[in-house]
Chains A and B, each alone.
Chain A
Amino acid sequence: MINLLNQTYAYFLDNQNRFWAELGRHLSLSSTALAISLILCIPLGIWAARHVRAAQYLITAVGSLRLIPSLAILFLVMPYLGTGATPAITALTILAMPSILINVYTGLRGVEPAVVEAAAAMGMTARQRLLQVEIPLALPVMIAGIRTATVEVIASATLAAFIGAGGLGIFVTRGFALFEPRIMLLGAIPVAVLALISEVVLGFVERWFTPPR
């Protein structure tokens, strides 16, 4: 095991430029996908929280996207989007959407109605209520969803290597093709570490925004 890690390190030293380039690509694929899902899902979640009946259909529909394996999405969108980063980001966005949307919705629905009423009684507009009362109170749950999505996206961005989008997955697929665990680990270990870091960091953020009880 130690020996293998040494070999991985030696392979890393020989391929540093490529490693940092792929790490960068991995992070940019993941963060782009997460950004797009946030832009789509936060307004969608807010809308859904105001339209409970329609929300059930919306959430079921988005949730069912999660049932399609990401690899299948990659190949399904390829005829339209080609190879490279675009189909990879599309697949990762689809993967990230359900957790974010569901948690934005649940977070907002979980806000005590009495608090919102009190805010209205104080003369706050709907916009003020949303931005100053509802979202701050829903934030811990929303961040929990973002945290889940982030870990999922970072781990799944490995698949991008299948379709020429690069990322740390290229070391995993190359190691797999050559049966060279040292190459595979150069992809697998950093992906695991990235996922852990984002888990821990977003965990802190989540606690930061949780009101003390």
Chain B
Amino acid sequence: MLRRTTQLMTLALVVILTACGQAAPVAPTTAPAASPAAENPTPAAESPTVASTPAAENPTAVTEPTAAPSGATIRIGSKHFTEAILVAEMYALMLEENGFTVERKFSLGATAIAHEALVGGDIDLYPEYTSTGLQVVLKQPALPDEAAIMAALRKGYEEQFQVTWLNPSPFNNTNVFALTKEKAEELGVVTFSDLVAVSADVRLGGPPEFPEREDNKAILAMYGFDPKFSGDNYVQLDSGSLRYEALTRGDVDVVVAFGTDGQIAGLGLTVLQDDKNAYPIYQIAPVIRQDALNANPQIAEILNAMAPLLTSEVMSGLNWQVDGPEKKEVSVVAREFLVSQGVIK
């Protein structure tokens, strides 16, 4: 009897909690809009196209870039997949190298959750993808070039959330569709448009949020994919590794892949070409709360210095060290890479 009651109470609790979850986050996102920080945008916002850091234009901050900030604690979050955790770990190592204490709060789920954690003050910064921020968080239309995206991001985030973007890394982790070589030959597909022709019959595997994200919806509609492709036939698989597992076992025909997934090269998969150039650029960059940045302006310099190291080749190679047969720990891969680049000891 007791167990039954407990279960029913748990179910009731789930319903209530999910219901409350909607009301709660609204307040913290909008309330701070009136705070002084909003009227005082960082220098980066005024010259977003120049790859300048807020710290570089702030005379008080440039004095001693390597000065230990008396052990200030920075809480770093990340979304819940290999690359996000790997980059977050690199940010953490870079800051630790420069005297910060870092609290790691990784694997916060998908964009919305990491973003809530940032805006709500549970974390100070996390790595986010540029076009994801633009389209999913700010709900703005896609933009074609990097500089325009950064400008729109800094403006939108600073005005709405008192959060800003540091400089992005060069790699572009855009959405693609991947399948095994055999399957690609069997279906005779090379481009997204080829896939459209068979889209009513293939089983697509991907993450939970894929069918509901506005950017994907717009692109699938633009190409003319069958609604079943991301609807009735869609196989929802929670994590990236699981998707490739399902693909190689033949449980699905095609997967939603990210351009820098290590498995693409590692498993010798075929990536379909986005022949209408529909997907925008997804570069990774630290998003940081402005109060945390103002208190520790060196962070901008430290992370901006590291950003250019992460190219597409580097990133997919590092991802494969974690997801491939080596199954290395994220922290080990991040440290080895930064040491090999001579940016940490």
Same complex:
yes
**Hey, which bits of chain A sit against chain B, CB under 8 A?**
1, 4, 17-18, 21, 78, 82-84, 147-148, 151-152, 155, 161-164, 166, 170, 173-185, 188-189, 191-192, 195-196, 199
Given A18-B231, A84-B251, A181-B19, also A164-B110 (CB < 8 A): no
CA distance A192 to B18 in the complex (A): 13
Chain B nearest CB from A162 CB (Å) reads 4
CB atoms of A192 and B14 under 8 A apart: yes
CB atoms of B19 and A173 under 8 A apart: no
Out of A83, A162, A183, A195, which one reaches B11, CB within 8 Å? A195
CB atoms of B242 and A164 under 8 A apart: yes
Question: In this complex, what residue of A is CB-closest to B239?
Answer: A162
Other A-B pairs, 7, CB within 8 Å; known A155-B7, A164-B237? A83-B242, A83-B245, A147-B4, A151-B4, A174-B212, A192-B12, A195-B11
| SS of A interface (majority) | helix
Give chain A residues whose Cβ lies under 8 Å from the Cβ of B3: 148
CB atoms of B236 and A173 under 8 A apart: yes
CB atoms of A170 and B251 under 8 A apart: no
Q: Mark B1-40, 1 if CB is under 8 A from A, else 0.
A: 0011001101110110011011001000000000000000
Give chain A residues whose Cβ lies under 8 Å from the Cβ of B208: 161, 170, 173-174, 176-178
CB atoms of B232 and A166 under 8 A apart: no
CB atoms of B15 and A188 under 8 A apart: yes
Give chain A residues whose Cβ lies under 8 Å from the Cβ of B237: 83, 162-164
Chain B nearest CB from A106 CB (Å) reads 14
Given A148-B3, A163-B237, A192-B15, also A199-B22 (CB < 8 A): no
What is the total number of residues of chain B having a CB less than 8 Å from a CB of chain A? 39
Chain B residues 201-235 with CB under 8 Å of chain A are 205, 207-209, 211-213, 231-232, 235
**B109 located at the interface, meaning its Cβ lies under 8 Å from any Cβ of chain A in the complex:** yes
CB atoms of A170 and B236 under 8 A apart: yes
Give chain B residues whose Cβ lies under 8 Å from the Cβ of A178: 110, 112, 208-209, 212-213
Give chain B residues whose Cβ lies under 8 Å from the Cβ of A176: 109-110, 113, 208
Given A84-B251, A163-B237, A179-B25, also A185-B15 (CB < 8 A): yes
CB atoms of A191 and B19 under 8 A apart: no
**B238 located at the interface, meaning its Cβ lies under 8 Å from any Cβ of chain A in the complex:** yes
